[in-house]
Amino acid sequence: MLVAVLVGLAVYAFQSRPQPSTTKPSPALFPCAATDAVELRLTGVDGKVTDLHLSSSGTDWQLTAPSAAPADQAAVSDLLLTAGQLRSSATLAAVPSGQDLGLSPPRLTVDCFLRKGASYTLTIGGQNFDGSGSYARVSGDSRVHLIPSAAVQKFQKVLVEPPIRPYPSPAGSPSPSPSA
């Protein structure tokens, strides 16, 4: 009898142990990978535009709007990484009746143009009730997604401070040093 109870406990313990997760990570919401992108355009609700183009050599990014200048490569790479790894934390099948969720007109639009001619548009609307995310829609998809506020803030920052390549100080000029 004791042996039967021990065998039963062993079977129970084996069956109830945590199982490894077999769920696949969700696919990227906005297919704008740095390896495929050739242009990234951000447009604010006020019409302000920041436009970035990959040079014809395919190595350097150039800022073409609001003014022409060499782009900060690290900042553009970070922006493309954010765009390409964007995930939805929640999805609505459609905009609820009587609500636009800030998507009409959008507060921010991100257009990504790829090497093979495809392009995608991410329209970003208002924030959710607690400010942790914003409502967004990807071209060709009627669903509304909730994306992280941190990504939206990064996109908005580019409109205010375009990623212009920093120029080194001229030779011989003193560089600022921290005061003691």
Mean pLDDT rounded to a whole number for the chain: 85
Bridge pairing between strands 69-70 and 119-127: unpaired
Per the structure block, which two tokens stand in for 37?
A: 């992108």
Which stretches does DSSP call E strand in 6-143?
A: 37-44, 49-54, 61-65, 69-70, 90-92, 108-114, 119-127, 133-138
79: helix, strand or coil = helix
Average pLDDT over residues 104-133: 95
pLDDT of residue 57: 85
pLDDT of residue 98: 74
pLDDT of residue 166: 86
pLDDT of residue 18: 57
List the 37-44 sheet strands across, edge first.
69-70, 61-65, 49-54, 37-44, 108-114, 119-127, 133-138, 144-148, 90-92
What is the pTM assigned to this prediction? 0.78
pLDDT of residue 5: 55
pLDDT of residue 167: 77
pLDDT of residue 180: 47
pLDDT of residue 21: 47
CB 45 within 8 A of CB 57: no
- The total of other beta-carbon atoms located within 10 Å of residue 165's CB is 16
Residue 123 pLDDT more than 50? yes
Residue 20 pLDDT more than 60? no
pLDDT of residue 25: 56
pLDDT digits (tens, 9 = 90+) for 41-73: 999 999 999 999 999 888 899 999 999 999 999
